[in-house]
Structure 1
Amino acid sequence: MPLLFDMPFEQLQTYQGTNPRPADHDTYWERALAEMRAVDPQVELVPAEFQVPFAHCFHLYFTGVGGARVHAKLLHPKDAPRPHPAVLMFHGYSGSSGDWSDKLGYVAAGYTVAALDCRGQGGLSQDPGGVAGWTLRGHIIRGLDDSPDKLLYRQIFLDTAQLACIVMEMPEVDPDRVGATGGSQGGGLTLACAALEPRIKLAAPVFPFLCDYQRVWHLELAKNAYAELEEYFRRFDPLHEREQEIFTKLGYIDVQHLAPRIQAEVMMATGFADRICPPSTQFAAYNKIRSKKSLRIYPDFGHENLPGNSDAIFQFLSRL
């Protein structure tokens, strides 16, 4: 399986990542989780304009860390046993939770579905801001010139865990039968959610984003979704005098460093021609997962639809 722009498959299988891990990474996330648990989520369910005969569809709103009102689409099957399993869905960078109809397969199979809108992206969730430094665009570098606690992806990662907790506490849902899935940013958030909420049973990430930022830089692939890394250096550290400091700070929100916390069984899919989220960055996270795991490899595919993978995920999550 040759990789013309990355490393050979044999090296990928043992690669442990390049981006530094902050020395206080564990205490940073324990403190973050304590902050999240102290928030009164003030959950609100609003009947959606979209309805079907076999499901109840709601707009779910909750208060996340920092006071943001966060939105998710919530669908409950009408005639499923109580309690029943649930699936959490996470979307790609800049996108949204998507259409109601693309969640109905899981609902028809008897699952509650909750699909998050990430703060400040294409959906309905709030991004109240409040950080020092550049806010023109770019969520990866949002808060980089402030305290590590102000990194935007810290808040988004916590939103995934808070949503999981809210869903697990619903009387309709069996908290021991909850899974998560998503692609690209959604793949990274699937892994982050499983790391921060250890009750997640099954996780199915697809070419996860938000992994091994420094490796992306070394490959000269800080383009597209990672373009803000290049923009940041060009604007604020053109001589790279702070390079180690910057990448170490990004290590707080590097999914590879959260991966050892995962207890869920993981099925990950990756394309070896992926120049958006290079394979080595994905393997940096995958190789640190200590729970049961498996990998679906598409040698000729990049950051695109992977044929048959949605069906494989559906069958994987049907084990909940």
Structure 2
Amino acid sequence: MKHIKETIKQLESYIPESTKRPDHHSFWKRTLQEARKNSLDEKLVEIDYPIKQVRVYDLSYNGFDDTPIKGFYMLPREHQQKLPCLIIFHGYMGNKGSVSQYMKWLIQGYAVIAVDVRGQGRSGDYSSYASDGMGSWVVKGILDKEDYYYRKVYTDGVRAVDFACSRPEIDAERIGIMGASMGGGITLAAAALDDRPKLAIADMPNMCDIPLMMEQKLEGSLTIVENLLHRYPEQIELVYDNLTYFDNLNLSASITCKTRFSVGLKDLICPPQPIFGVYNQLQAPKSMEIYPFAGHDMNIIEHIDKTIAFINENL
């Protein structure tokens, strides 16, 4: 136990230096303005779902470059007042899953938007990436920050907030965003780029203190970036520079909403120190759940129950 306490103390004292470039804020301001020039063109098609206490829609809305982003829009069938809303993003190479997995929120009176991230699940990707030689999303367009996959993914996340705020049945003052791994990284970025969410829950988030995360991780999507740089070492400086715009270390300074993180101290994909690096410099109200023997998996009974309680208390 002493070793665990010492490890946590070291993590809590880790303060990395920002790598934010001078045009960071103008880059993202311009990005969101560009995306919002076009209509969301949202489409809802009701699904005849076997759990009759909920109303379920296939959702489509236009993301960064008019790519239709797919998802579920789910509501309690009976409701009298405007609803709080949770926007949920999945992990890398995942999808939004089944309607049934969101019942713990729907039965309590939350609306839920479950998003299939661009290029994954049922969402396509209209972008033509100038650099796309490694066959995985994390390196698509990585040689040009204007073209990079995560520029579009983060913007798609903000557009999900736009959709939620457009719905008359949603209380725009009670929107929470959440996700794990890639979904946790998107959650932090969306909370940084949009001040409307009241709550953000980021479990073992990726894209945190990226240079350190690349150095410490043993598995996961960032290994593909390393493979790219192994093949093309002349691109190292350019890639590291571009990644600063998408690193939650630099984005999260703009977060104003209450934010909860979680880490597993044995996580080989999103190791704890880079996540603590983001957490420690965050100025918004915050908390951290630490699981000493967890890896890259927060499917822990205690953690699930804590998450339910945390959201009920704060949203």
TM beyond 0.5? yes
Q: What's the counterpart of residue 278 of structure 1?
A: 271
Quote the RMSD (CA, aligned, Å). Answer: 1.8
Q: What's the counterpart of residue 187 of structure 2?
A: 190
Distance apart, 1:216 and its partner CA = 2.3
- What is the TM-score normalised by the length of structure 2? 0.93
For residues 304 and 50 of structure 2, what CA distance do their matches in structure 1 show?
Answer: 24
**Within 5 A, what are the aligned runs for 1:239-250?**
241-250=234-243
Distance apart, 1:253 and its partner CA = 1.1
Distance apart, 1:311 and its partner CA = 1.3
Q: What's the counterpart of residue 128 of structure 1?
A: 126
**Within 5 A, what are the aligned runs for 1:140-289?**
140-145=138-143, 147-219=144-216, 221=217, 223-237=219-233, 241-289=234-282
AA at the equivalent of 2:56: C
Distance apart, 1:223 and its partner CA = 3.1
Distance of aligned partners of 1:197 and 1:224 in 2 relative to their CA distance in 1, 3 Å threshold: same
For residues 235 and 309 of structure 1, what CA distance do their matches in structure 2 show?
Answer: 40
Structure (1 or 2) with the greater helix fraction: 2
Distance apart, 1:19 and its partner CA = 7.4
Q: Deviations over 1:38-79 (max 9, x none)?
A: 121101001124242221100110111112011111101121
Structure 1 segments unaligned to the other structure (5+ residues): none
Distance of aligned partners of 1:52 and 1:154 in 2 relative to their CA distance in 1, 3 Å threshold: same
Distance apart, 1:268 and its partner CA = 1.2
SS in structure 2 opposite 1:140? helix
| Larger relative contact order, structure 1 or 2 (CA cutoff 8 Å, min sep 6) | 1
Distance of aligned partners of 1:15 and 1:248 in 2 relative to their CA distance in 1, 3 Å threshold: farther
- What is the TM-score normalised by the length of structure 1? 0.92
Q: Deviations over 1:5-34 (max 9, x none)?
A: xx9433322323367322211111111111
For residues 137 and 18 of structure 1, what CA distance do their matches in structure 2 show?
Answer: 32
Distance of aligned partners of 1:171 and 1:95 in 2 relative to their CA distance in 1, 3 Å threshold: same
Kept in 2: contact 1:69–1:126 (CA 8 A): yes
Q: Deviations over 1:194-246 (max 9, x none)?
A: 11221111111111011122112333x35332221221112221xxx443332
AA at the equivalent of 2:89: F
Q: What's the counterpart of residue 27 of structure 1?
A: 26
Distance of aligned partners of 1:136 and 1:128 in 2 relative to their CA distance in 1, 3 Å threshold: farther
Distance apart, 1:190 and its partner CA = 1.3
Q: What's the counterpart of residue 308 of structure 1?
A: 302
Equivalent pairs counted in the alignment come to: 311
Structure 2 segments unaligned to the other structure (5+ residues): none
Q: What's the counterpart of residue 52 of structure 1?
A: 51
Distance apart, 1:118 and its partner CA = 0.5
Matched, 1:299 2:292: yes
Q: What's the counterpart of residue 107 of structure 2?
A: 108
AA at the equivalent of 1:235: R
Kept in 2: contact 1:16–1:288 (CA 8 A): yes
SS in structure 2 opposite 1:224? coil
Distance of aligned partners of 1:19 and 1:243 in 2 relative to their CA distance in 1, 3 Å threshold: farther
For residues 276 and 146 of structure 2, what CA distance do their matches in structure 1 show?
Answer: 27
Q: What's the counterpart of residue 9 of structure 2?
A: 10
Distance of aligned partners of 1:192 and 1:250 in 2 relative to their CA distance in 1, 3 Å threshold: same
For residues 135 and 18 of structure 2, what CA distance do their matches in structure 1 show?
Answer: 23
Choose 282-291 or 112-121, whichever is displaced more.
282-291
AA at the equivalent of 1:293: K
Kept in 1: contact 2:83–2:171 (CA 8 A): yes
